[in-house]
Chains A and B, each alone.
Chain A
Amino acid sequence: MNIADWLVFLGTLGGIAAYGSWRTRQIRSLNTYLKGRRSTGWGTIGLSVMATQASAITFLSIPGQGFESGIGFVQNYFGLPLALIIVSGVFLPMYRRFGVFTAYEFLGRRFDWKTRLLGAGLFLLQRGFSAGITIYAPAIILSTMLGWRLDLIIVFIGFLVIVYTVTGGSEAVSLTQKWQFGVIFVGMVAAFIVLLAELPVGVGFDDALHIAGALGKLQAVDTSIDPSRRYTLWTGLLGGLFLALSYFGTDQSQVQRYLGGDSLRESRLGLMFNALLKIPMQFLILLLGALLFVFYQFERPPLFFNQPEWQRHAQGPAGDAFSTLEQRYVVAVGDSEKAIRVWIQTRTSQDSAMEPIARTTMLEANRETAAIRSEAKAALLAVDPRAKTKDSDYVFITFILAKLPHGLIGLLIAVIFAAALNSLAAELNALSTTTTIDFWRYLHPLAAADEVRNVRVARWFTALWGFAGIAFALLAGFAENLIEAVNIVGSIFYGVVLGIFLVAFFLRRVGGSAVFFAAVAAQSLVITMFLSLNIGYLWYNLIGCAACIAFSMLLQTVLGPCAPADPGCAA
């Protein structure tokens, strides 16, 4: 990065953070601090919901996913529009009708205090961990590629978010998310244009799409019912619906985004904005990755995209083996490029006799390059069993640093930071709101009328969660497997929380005691299964939810119909 990049990078991030803090510096009302201004429109809500979900890793990993496995990952989002329709039609009207600050406050209204504290506690546990990962995951990639100190990146991201989130609360989060998402949009469009311009002479956009398609990168919809396939239409519709319903319907970091605004209409339109645009947006980011794959068919890519990791081992005792692999790769990439050019020629000249032969040759050449890349990863593992062999996260950043002009490099690095800030700000805001409303105000009911004190407490909790996130991100560097641990913890608790909410919305005869003890039993079951069985942890989402609903119904039957006087009974 040169001076122009630094100016763009620091100017963009610092400017937006300063603007957010300055515009929201005079907020004194708890309602505005936690929910945002009443005048917040659907556009801001929609962008805020979108920005909260799209973390930095989205813009680093998803192009890499398109590069490595093609655009089939888009099916993961197929359940999202359906989930948002359900949230808009069922969850949202209930939240607004009761005028709640948090989703868990609704559980208190519908059931009782113990169910509310259970839901809020599970959220704090899971989201508190992931706030650290939101900082750590992009920081480790940027640190590796840019040579910056990891701890400084973590502290920079953390402090920048703390400044404007503490100052302006939810209002500042929505305001900065809108501008940061604008920067992200401009940056990604610029990267797309540069990528197309960098394709070699004689290879147009149409050719690039045909090459990507022929090499298996553009199969967007897979109707296979083979359970071993990770991304299919069916896993996307079923698993995606379930996950999106949990995330958008019960996770306070999202609920808080759409509870702001003057009316139910604005919130609903904000959600529908996401339902319409999310799949096309993810498709374009994945397509960028597939086109990066085509680009690197004509310009020799590094054998392993995480070059610092590769070089570290290539200079060691196994250097000769690494060098041999690199030489073989250079030859294989050259052969692959020639085969692709021949295939384009036969396709353009509509030579139906030669085209299938050229296609087969091209596919074989491509398989050879892929095989050498696999060998390189195996070689890394052989010299260091702890080596990080997943290099797809480094594909897009490699392209940014190598091919974008100065100024744009700064903008794209700002894009990655902006995405990290967006997600982290929403998380801190949600953690603070839940701690203030569901715990502190519950324990200090007499303080509820003191607006100034409430806002002050919410600010303190925002800062505390921010510092906790920074500390966790700094510690994550010493224990890599924490990232997976956070995902596992999330899956263990997410299902039960969704189960509680589904009972609240759809099983109106089930009361507070039944759902609380059912949730505790379901959670115990999930934890016991986790400790004793060896099944994929994503299944615990489904098991936890189903067990919570089934146990609630069973327990209510045993307890008998809840009396109308029971505050937990929604007769």
Chain B
Amino acid sequence: MTGPIPPDQRSTAEPPGLPGFHAWRGVYLFVFGWFVLVVVLLAVFGRIFS
């Protein structure tokens, strides 16, 4: 059961195919930036209404 399996060649380099994003690194940076923005907005939300 441990014999090698032919790798799925398509898996190695598939671009995200999203406007403005040529590589997945850009998508991940965008998601990370969104996450930071959400945390900041939540902190501001708590500050405004406390």
Interface on A for B, CB 8 Å cutoff?
Answer: 71, 74, 78, 81-82, 84-85, 88-89, 93, 96-99, 108-109, 112-113, 116, 209-210, 212-214, 216, 218-221, 233, 263-265, 268-269, 272, 275-276, 279-280, 283, 442, 445, 567-568
Task: Give the nearest-CB partner of A213 in chain B.
Answer: B49
B10 touches A264 (CB 8 A): yes
Task: Give the nearest-CB partner of B13 in chain A.
Answer: A264
A265 touches B14 (CB 8 A): yes
Task: Give the nearest-CB partner of A566 in chain B.
Answer: B2
B14 touches A264 (CB 8 A): yes
A218 touches B49 (CB 8 A): yes
Chain B, range 1-19, C-beta contacts under 8 Å to A: 1-5, 7-8, 10-12, 14-18
B32 touches A218 (CB 8 A): no
Chain A residues with Cβ below 8 Å from B38 are 279-280
Chain B residues with Cβ below 8 Å from A96 are 8, 11
A220 touches B31 (CB 8 A): no
Contact with A along B9-49 (1 / 0, CB 8 A): 01110111110000010011001101100110011011011
A96 to chain B, nearest CB (A): 4
Known: A220-B43, A275-B35, A567-B2. 13 other contacts (CB 8 A): A96-B11, A213-B50, A214-B50, A219-B50, A233-B39, A263-B10, A263-B11, A265-B17, A272-B27, A275-B31, A276-B34, A280-B38, A445-B1
Chain A residues with Cβ below 8 Å from B5 are 98-99, 109
Chain B residues with Cβ below 8 Å from A280 are 38
A sample of 11 inter-chain contacts (CB < 8 A) reads A81-B34, A82-B32, A96-B11, A108-B1, A113-B2, A116-B1, A214-B50, A219-B46, A220-B42, A221-B46, A265-B14
A81 touches B46 (CB 8 A): no
B8 touches A99 (CB 8 A): yes
A109 touches B2 (CB 8 A): yes
- How long is the Cα–Cα vector from A397 to B12 in the complex, in angstroms? 48
- How long is the Cα–Cα vector from A442 to B50 in the complex, in angstroms? 59
Chain A residues with Cβ below 8 Å from B46 are 71, 213, 218-221
A220 touches B11 (CB 8 A): no
Task: Give the nearest-CB partner of A269 in chain B.
Answer: B16
Lowest 5 CB-CB distances: which A-B pairs, in order?
A213-B49, A220-B42, A221-B43, A567-B2, A96-B11
B14 touches A263 (CB 8 A): yes
A97 touches B50 (CB 8 A): no
One of B7, B27, B45 near A97 (C-beta < 8 A):
B7
Task: Give the nearest-CB partner of A81 in chain B.
Answer: B35
One of B3, B12, B24 near A268 (C-beta < 8 A):
B24
Chain B residues with Cβ below 8 Å from A74 are 42
Chain A residues with Cβ below 8 Å from B39 are 78, 221, 233, 279
A153 to chain B, nearest CB (A): 36
- How long is the Cα–Cα vector from A218 to B45 in the complex, in angstroms? 8
- How long is the Cα–Cα vector from A98 to B32 in the complex, in angstroms? 28
Chain B residues with Cβ below 8 Å from A81 are 31-32, 34-35
Task: Give the nearest-CB partner of B38 in chain A.
Answer: A279
B49 touches A212 (CB 8 A): yes
Task: Give the nearest-CB partner of B32 in chain A.
Answer: A85
One of B2, B12, B32, B42 near A221 (C-beta < 8 A):
B42
Chain B residues with Cβ below 8 Å from A275 are 31, 35
Chain B residues with Cβ below 8 Å from A283 are 42
B8 touches A272 (CB 8 A): no
Chain B residues with Cβ below 8 Å from A264 are 10-11, 14
Chain B residues with Cβ below 8 Å from A213 are 46, 48-50
Q: Contacts A112-B2, A212-B49, A220-B42; is A97 near B12 (CB within 8 Å)?
A: yes
- How long is the Cα–Cα vector from A71 to B39 in the complex, in angstroms? 13
A408 to chain B, nearest CB (A): 28
Chain B residues with Cβ below 8 Å from A82 are 32, 35
Chain A residues with Cβ below 8 Å from B43 are 220-221
Chain A residues with Cβ below 8 Å from B35 are 78, 81-82, 275, 279
B1 touches A85 (CB 8 A): no
